[in-house]
Structure 1
Amino acid sequence: MTRELADEGQALSDVVDRLEGRFPSRDRSEIERAVADAHSHFARAKVRDFVPVLVEREARARLEHPIQ
């Protein structure tokens, strides 16, 4: 069974909240951008169950090691 889109949206909101706690010196808008950019990589994924986990990993990596 795949994740409903509303559930995925809530899960991504939770990702932003967790990353905001992990990176308190970053603006929420910067974290939201990192999550949105990471999420765009999975737009065509047919199985959606793990998308929030993968998005969180990618967004966290972007925030830990920003490209200058």
Structure 2
Amino acid sequence: MNVRRDEQAAIGHAAARLKSAFPSVDPDTVDALVEQAHDALSGATIRIYVPILVERRARTMITDGLGPFGPSAPPEAEHREYGATAWHAHDR
């Protein structure tokens, strides 16, 4: 069993679920947020939880950060709660 390959597959499935759950958000933006969330967990020692944590972080960045404005929101507003940058609709 290759843990990294399994992890990558699970993260791919998480990205697909997020794209399905948020069809108004650009798929490339979803992929970028999933990648940011995954990068934030690169030092995790217990890898089995990484895919679910990545999906939760990315979902939070989408719902809290992008909101209904999608990827066109201003990049100067940063969200650092999860160690990644996302946009806040309320900072417009």
* TM-score where L is the length of structure 2: 0.68
One-letter amino acid of the structure 1 residue matched with residue 20 of structure 2: G
Task: Encode CA deviations 1:11-59: one digit per residue, 9 max, x unaligned.
Answer: 0100110000110011110000010000111101111000000000000
Alignment match, 1:50: 49
Bigger relative contact order, structure 1 or 2 (CA pairs below 8 A, ≥6 apart): 1
> Which stretches in structure 1 are left out of the alignment for 5+ residues?
none
Distance across 2 between alignment mates of 1:24 and 1:60: 13
Deviation at 1:9, TM superposition (A): 0.5
One-letter amino acid of the structure 2 residue matched with residue 18 of structure 1: R
Between structure 1 and structure 2, the one with the greater Rg is 2
Alignment match, 2:60: 61
RMSD, aligned α-carbons: 1.1
Alignment match, 1:17: 16
- Identity within the alignment, %: 33
Distance across 2 between alignment mates of 1:65 and 1:45: 24
Structure 1: which 4+ aligned runs deviate by more than 6 Å?
none
Report how many aligned residue pairs link the two structures. 66
One-letter amino acid of the structure 1 residue matched with residue 35 of structure 2: A
> Which stretches in structure 2 are left out of the alignment for 5+ residues?
66-86
Distance across 2 between alignment mates of 1:52 and 1:9: 8
* TM-score where L is the length of structure 1: 0.91
